[in-house]
Each structure stands twice: as structure tokens, then as C-alpha cells.
Amino acid sequence: MPRPPRAARAPHGHRGFIPFCVPYTDRREVEGAAQAIRSGWLTTGPRVSRFESAVRRSVGARHAVAVNSCTAAMHLSLAARGIKEGDEVITSPYTFAATGEAILYLRARPVFADIISATLNIDPHAVERAVTRRTRAIVPVHIAGLPCDMDPLLDIARRHRLAIIEDAAHALGAVYGGRPIGSLSDATCLSFYATKNLATGEGGMVTLNDREMADRIRRLSLHGLSRDAWKRYTRAGSWRYDVVELGYKYNMTDVAAAIGLAQLSKFRDMQAKRLRLARRYCALLGQSDTYELPTELPGSTHAWHLYVLRLRSGVLRIERDRLLHLLRARGIGASVHFLPLHLHSFYRRTFGYTAGAFPRTEAESARALSLPLYPGLSTRAQDRVVEVLLDLAERHRR
Ligand SMILES: *Cc1c(COP(=O)(O)O)cnc(C)c1O
């Protein structure tokens, strides 16, 4: 047995600061990337194909197309379903900028449906109410890695003939009702951004079951070139290519795929570590009257991309922002996921949104804070996070 490689050292030593996120990399990623470079094949090639097959199999989908971000994955999935100017796409305002962008790139209109407070995920009843005759798709976001309630959403989609394109940037490894996220809907979009559960720096993938849609997404990801165009530098390829439609430049590199393959080889262990740490936070913070713990859903597996704690209102004299500031001052890199999308200045200016438009999203966002959570987080560091949280709760009690 080779000695298990040591993970990249978390920079905890730096004046005792506990970072919000540290990638879990070791010599396997370094070797994989080095081999890709030595092979002379830097961009889309054999490692991308292998990475696609491995991810596709891990989520039980028939097809997978690797791209350079989850944003690109969502853009192309919506494009491949024919979303165009004037169409409406229903999504959650409790999300990152990327979700709205993918819709807006196609000149379609993002229509927000409020969340369920307990889960922070889109409320299927609100989705149903938001459907109009212009609605073409739903983009559910599995916040923090907790699956959305997919059955009612799939039912709404079936009844109104809508596409479902999942923003699963947080949800690789999540399971809904025994079925892995990645195989349930028209297309599932994954992110391999540096902070995500499986990280390649930049990267993304669409997993799906429809062959034609997969082919279209692949074509759109590389300038709209005829199907085997990327093979034109291989022995099997031809120098001739045809631009079949207007495409984009969204393909993944083999260097990124090599890092992804290394990450995937230890993904189970990484997820087990996240789960253990999440449960440990719950156990250590469960007695506090100040903090509300994240929920899990029976029958679902949480991917634990984020550990989102909520501040119970009325307990402390300070607000969430002040608490975050004090945590940082005490060496803890906590963060917020997410500010309501509709309240960013671009959305206010473009669509005229004001505070109060999506009250549940706004209320939960205002009291949410994400704690450090990553496979390399030591229990000692975690104890420190909890100790400071409990100490601040005592000091600033009303
Ligand atoms: C990170 C993230 C994305 C975007 O992922 P990229 O790979 O960086 O494009 C999309 N949606 C959510 C909810 C995210 O957190």
C-alpha cells in the first residue's frame, strides 16, 4: 500500500486564522496535472472524456458534457432547450449571480419564486403560482447541497411542459429519494469552481439523459463546430470543419479534467469528512438558543457544500453583519450565502425590484452565516469556531 498522500496544508498556522474554505488537494492532483502537461495535450482531450464518463457514472446519467464553469453549463442547457428572448424562466432569488446570468444571456426573463424558510430552497407552491403562458423552464438551486423537493417540481414541469435545468453547483454527491442529483431532470449543472465540493479551479459539467440535447450542448460549447471538430488534431480527425450554428468557447481543458479525476478518486472520503464535520457542528451547537441549525430532509442525502447557520432573532443585541465582523476579528473566516439576487443594484435597476418582493428569501438571507466546512478542517479548528460562536453569543446577549 502506498502511503496515503498528505492533503495540502491548510494555512491555519497563519496567526491562527481559520479560513472559510481550503481545497483538499495532494500530490494526486499535482501528478495528474503534471501528466496532462507532459502528455502534450493541454486542452480538451482524452482526460476530459474520462472525467465526463466518471462523473456521468457516479450520478447515474447517460450523458455528460464538461465545460469551463457551471454558469456555462446552465447557459448551454437553457440554450439547448430553446430558451430565447421573451421566455420566462422561474428560479430562486436565494442564489448566486450565475443563476440569473445564464437566463439573461439568452434574453429570457428570470422570474423569481420565493423559498421555503426551513430549507432555503425554492417553494414548489410559489413556482406553481409564478407559471404563466410564457414560462419555459424552472431552474431549481440545491442550496448548500440540500436537494430541492424535486417531485412536485417535476410534476409542475410535466403539467406545464417546462424544462427543468438544475443548478447543482452545491449538490454533487446529493441524493433525492434514493436517486442521485444529476439524473433526475432534463439537465443537471455542476460546478468545479475552487471552493466547490469537487474543485478543478474553474470547471463545470452538464449531466443528462437525452442524447440529442447532449450533442447540441457539446457543439455549442465549442464555437458551434460540427460534431467531431475537436478531434481535428488527431490521426482520426480531418482538418475540415463546419460552423453549424453560433456557439461559445466553453470547453474544459485536459489539465482541469486531470485535477477533476484526482478529486473524484477520493470524493467519497471527502464527502464523508464533510458529513462528519456537519454532524459535529450540529451536535456542538445544538444546545444554543442563539443559533438555528441547518435542516436535513428524510430520504435525502445532503452534500454539505455549506454549513449555513441562522441567527435566531431577538436573542442578541447585535445583527448578523456585526457577528461576522467579530468572528473575523477572532480569526474565523465565516461568510454569507447568499444576498438576495433581486436586491443587487443591477436587478433593482433593470427589473425595479425593491425590498419586500420576496420576504422569506430576504428574512433568511439577513440572518444566515456560513461556517468553515471542508474535508481538511481539523476538529480542533472546528472546536475553536464553536467556542468563539458560543462566547460571542454570551457576550452580546440582550
Ligand atoms: C458557484 C455557483 C455557481 C457558479 O459556478 P461556476 O462554476 O463558478 O460558474 C452557480 N450557482 C451557484 C448556486 C453557485 O454557488
Q: Within this chain, do residues 362 and 220 fall inside the same structural domain, yes or no?
A: no
6 part of a folded domain: no
Q: Within this chain, do residues 165 and 217 fall inside the same structural domain, yes or no?
A: yes
Residue 66 CA to residue 76 CA, distance in Å, equals 11
Q: What angle do CA 12, 18, 24 make, to 5 degrees?
A: 70
Residue 76 CA to residue 56 CA, distance in Å, equals 18
What digits encode the pLDDT tens for the residues 77-94?
999 999 999 999 999 999
Residue 107 CA to residue 208 CA, distance in Å, equals 24
Q: Within this chain, do residues 158 and 218 fall inside the same structural domain, yes or no?
A: yes
Closest CA to ligand 1's atom 5: 70
Cell of 359: 420576504
End position of a domain, from candidates 222, 240, 265 = 265
The residue among 201, 168, 213 whose CA lies nearest residue 71 is 168
- pLDDT for 226 equals 84
**Amino acid at position 127, single letter:** V
pLDDT classification of 3: cutoffs 50, 70, 90:
very low
Domains in the chain: how many in total?
A: 2
CA 72 from centre of chain: 13
Mutating to test ligand 1, I would choose from 76, 91, 96, 337 the residue with most ligand atoms within 8 A of its C-beta, which is: 96
Q: Within this chain, do residues 86 and 179 fall inside the same structural domain, yes or no?
A: yes
71 in ligand 1 pocket by Cβ < 6 Å? Answer: yes
Q: Within this chain, do residues 84 and 219 fall inside the same structural domain, yes or no?
A: yes
Could you tell me the pTM of the whole model? 0.95
Half-sphere exposure of 262 (CA within 13 A, CB side): 25
Q: Which structural domain range is residue 98 located in?
A: 27-265
What digits encode the pLDDT tens for the residues 98-151?
999 999 999 999 999 999 999 999 999 999 999 999 999 999 999 999 999 999
For residue 359, report the distance from its CA to the centre of ligand 1, in Å. 23
**How is the beta sheet containing 291-292 ordered, strand by strand?**
291-292, 307-311, 368-371
121 in ligand 1 pocket by Cβ < 6 Å? Answer: no
Q: Do residues 199 and 257 touch, judged by C-beta distance below 8 A?
A: no
Question: Residue 204: pLDDT above 60?
Answer: yes
146 in ligand 1 pocket by Cβ < 6 Å? Answer: no
Measured from the Cα of 141, ligand 1's closest atom is 13
Question: Residue 1: pLDDT above 60?
Answer: no
What digits encode the pLDDT tens for the residues 10-24?
444 456 899 999 999
Q: Within this chain, do residues 272 and 255 fall inside the same structural domain, yes or no?
A: no
175-176/163-167 β-pairing: unpaired
Residue 274 CA to residue 268 CA, distance in Å, equals 10
Measured from the Cα of 167, ligand 1's closest atom is 11
Question: Residue 334: pLDDT above 90?
Answer: yes
Three-class HEC string of the chain:
CCCCCCCCCCHHHCCCCECCCCCCCCHHHHHHHHHHHHHCCCCCCHHHHHHHHHHHHHHCCCEEEEECCHHHHHHHHHHHCCCCCCCEEEECCCCCHHHHHHHHCCCCEEEECCECCCCCCECHHHHHHHCCCCEEEEECECHHHCCCCHHHHHHHHHHHCCEEEEECCCCCCCEECCEECCCCCCEEEEECECCCCCCCECCEEEEECCHHHHHHHHHHCECCECCCHHHHHCCCCCCCCCECCCCCECECCHHHHHHHHHHHHCHHHHHHHHHHHHHHHHHHHCCCCCEECCCCCCCEECCCCCEEEEECCCCECCCHHHHHHHHHHCCECCECCCCCHHHCHHHHHHHCCCCCCCHHHHHHHHCEEEECCCCCCCHHHHHHHHHHHHHHHHHCEC
For residue 318, report the distance from its CA to the centre of ligand 1, in Å. 30
What digits encode the pLDDT tens for the residues 163-201?
999 999 999 999 999 999 999 999 999 999 999 999 999
Dihedral (Cα; 197, 198, 201, 203), 10-degree rounding: -110
End position of a domain, from candidates 218, 241, 265 = 265
Q: Within this chain, do residues 235 and 271 fall inside the same structural domain, yes or no?
A: no
167 in ligand 1 pocket by Cβ < 6 Å? Answer: yes
Q: Do residues 251 and 43 touch, judged by C-beta distance below 8 A?
A: yes
231 a catalytic residue = no
1 part of a folded domain: no
The residue among 187, 209, 227, 204 whose CA lies nearest residue 82 is 187
Share of the chain above pLDDT 70, in %: 93
66 part of a folded domain: yes
Measured from the Cα of 337, ligand 1's closest atom is 15
pLDDT classification of 230: cutoffs 50, 70, 90:
low
The residue among 66, 95, 376, 53 whose CA lies nearest residue 200 is 66
Q: Within this chain, do residues 157 and 293 fall inside the same structural domain, yes or no?
A: no
169 in ligand 1 pocket by Cβ < 6 Å? Answer: yes
End position of a domain, from candidates 233, 265, 297 = 265
Radius of gyration of the chain (CA): 22
98 in ligand 1 pocket by Cβ < 6 Å? Answer: yes
Measured from the Cα of 204, ligand 1's closest atom is 7
**Beta-ladder partners of 330:** none
Place of cell 429570457: 108
Q: Within this chain, do residues 171 and 202 fall inside the same structural domain, yes or no?
A: yes
Q: Within this chain, do residues 179 and 288 fall inside the same structural domain, yes or no?
A: no
- The terminus-to-terminus CA distance of the chain in angstroms comes to 57
Q: Within this chain, do residues 33 and 150 fall inside the same structural domain, yes or no?
A: yes
φ/ψ of 28, rounded to 5, equals -65, -40
Judged by average pLDDT, the poorest of 11-20, 149-158, 314-323, 325-334 is 11-20
190 in ligand 1 pocket by Cβ < 6 Å? Answer: no
148 in ligand 1 pocket by Cβ < 6 Å? Answer: no
The single residue of 196, 231, 249, 273 carrying the catalytic annotation is 196
Residue 68 CA to residue 141 CA, distance in Å, equals 19
Mean pLDDT of the chain, nearest integer: 95
Question: Residue 7: pLDDT above 90?
Answer: no
Q: Within this chain, do residues 205 and 305 fall inside the same structural domain, yes or no?
A: no
Residue 274 CA to residue 369 CA, distance in Å, equals 17
349 part of a folded domain: yes
